[in-house]
Structure 1
Amino acid sequence: MRTILNGSSAFLIALYGALYAMAIVGEANQDFIDAVSMLKSSIALSSVSLVLSLAAAQHLAKRSAK
């Protein structure tokens, strides 16, 4: 479980970096990036991060209860 959580975290950090880079490029060229799709991507990634953090917290709580 720990390896899955670490791998997922690293993957999401890379996606956040790509999203940030796209946002910076989108500021320079308004026609390059669709703002609505950027918003939907941000919401989706945030939701996945929330689920991942809840899973990590639950895993740690179970582990400390032993």
Structure 2
Amino acid sequence: MSGGSLYDFVHKQHNVLDLPTLLKFAVDVCRGMCYLHQRGIIHRDLKSANLLMDKDHVRSL
């Protein structure tokens, strides 16, 4: 995706995120994991480098 990974984004921010941004990422990840869980899918390598972003932030697990 055009935005890179969450890992890259955090490092570009010098490892500092404001609370609203951090909460947005957390909610996006939780929604994605809920979607997978409801379909019986297990994500076995959840980490910031595997969370892909577009211009609106996290979009793919």
TM-score category of the 2 structures, normalised to the smaller one? 0.3 to 0.5
More helix per residue: 1 or 2? 1
TM-score of the pair, normalised by structure 2 = 0.39
The structure showing larger relative contact order (alpha-carbon pairs under 8 Å, at least 6 residues apart) is 2
Rg: which structure is higher? 1
More strand per residue: 1 or 2? 2
